[in-house]
Amino acid sequence: MSQAPTREVARRVFAREFNDASHTFKESEDERAPVYLLLPTGERANRVFLVGTLTEKEDVGEGDEYWRGRIVDPTGTFFVYAGQYQPDAASALRELEPPAYVAVVGKPRTYETDDGSVNVSVRPESITAVDATTRDRWVAETATRTLERVGAFDDEGDEYARMAREEYDLAVDEYREVALAALEGLDESDELNGDGADAPAEH
């Protein structure tokens, strides 16, 4: 058995909920303790797993390469940033040609703007080109996870749901509707796109 530290589970989350998240926290004083993003439906996320359509990419670095990718799912947009410290992900962004379905595993990053609002992005560990079937499966599974979190949101014994109730003044039922709409959109895109390979459904 390997004694290497276990990696945090990568949480499945739609862009709509991810972008509403702003509160980060640690669970110990250890300098190396993981930083968690608190999802509004009451889950902590040190890593996230997302699949969507890479619609744009741009090297926004000054000198060194620093790639920004715009990835769209049925509910909104994720922004991913990869530079010299994420060489595999940066290389993938350099090589990929939008539009393309991609799967991303990475860490949430928050940034407070001058006006006090919080922007959330993903620092990718990996970016992989995938097919429409993989994208559809991710949407279905992410919808299921979202509905499960919403269903458990009022559980007094769930410490992360309790924390989310305290930190966010958000109507959690909206995420149920977002998840159900994403599922409905799957059926429609299958009819419209055939195999969907050349015509990403999200806009």
Structural domains of the chain in order of their starting residue, each with its CATH number: 10-190 (2.40.50.140)
Q: Evaluate if residue 203 carries a pLDDT over 80.
A: no
Answer yes or no: are the C-beta atoms of 145 and 179 closer than 8 Å: no
pTM confidence score? 0.89
**28-34, long-range: CB < 8 A, 24+ apart:** 34/8
**In this predicted model, what pLDDT tens digit does every residue of 105-115 receive, in sequence order?**
999 999 999 99
Grade residue 128 by pLDDT with cuts at 50, 70 and 90: very high
Give the pLDDT confidence score for residue 202 in this predicted structure: 41
> What is the rounded average pLDDT of the residues 84-100?
97
**How high does pLDDT run on average in the chain?**
91
Distance set, CA 170 to CA 16, 94, 96, 117 (Å): 12, 37, 36, 15
pLDDT at 119: 95
**CB pairs under 8 A, 24+ apart, for 167-175?**
167/23, 167/38, 168/20, 168/22, 168/23, 168/38, 168/40, 170/20, 170/40, 172/40, 172/41, 172/42, 175/14, 175/16, 175/17, 175/40, 175/41, 175/146, 175/149, 175/150
Helices marked H in the chain: 15-20, 87-95, 132-151, 159-167, 173-193
- In this predicted structure, what is the pLDDT of residue 4? 52
Contacts of 126 by beta carbon, 8 Å cutoff, 6+ apart: 88, 89, 92, 103, 104, 105, 106
162: confidence class by pLDDT, cuts 50, 70, 90: very high
Q: What percent of the chain has pLDDT over 90?
A: 85
Band (53; pLDDT cuts 50, 70, 90) = very high
The more confident residue out of 127 and 196 is 127
Enumerate the β-bridge partners of residue 47. Answer: 10
Q: So what's the pLDDT on residue 7?
A: 78
Pairwise CA distance, residues 96 & 93, whole Å: 5
**Does 146 score more than 70 pLDDT?**
yes
**Who's near 156: CB < 8 A, 6+ residues apart?**
162
DSSP bridge pairs for 180: none
Q: What is the pLDDT of residue 201?
A: 41
Q: Work out the average pLDDT over 108-124.
A: 94
In terms of DSSP bridges, do strands 24-25 and 118-129 run parallel, antiparallel, or are they unpaired? unpaired
Of all residues in the chain, what percent carry a pLDDT higher than 70?
90
Least confident of 56-60, 135-139, 196-200: 196-200
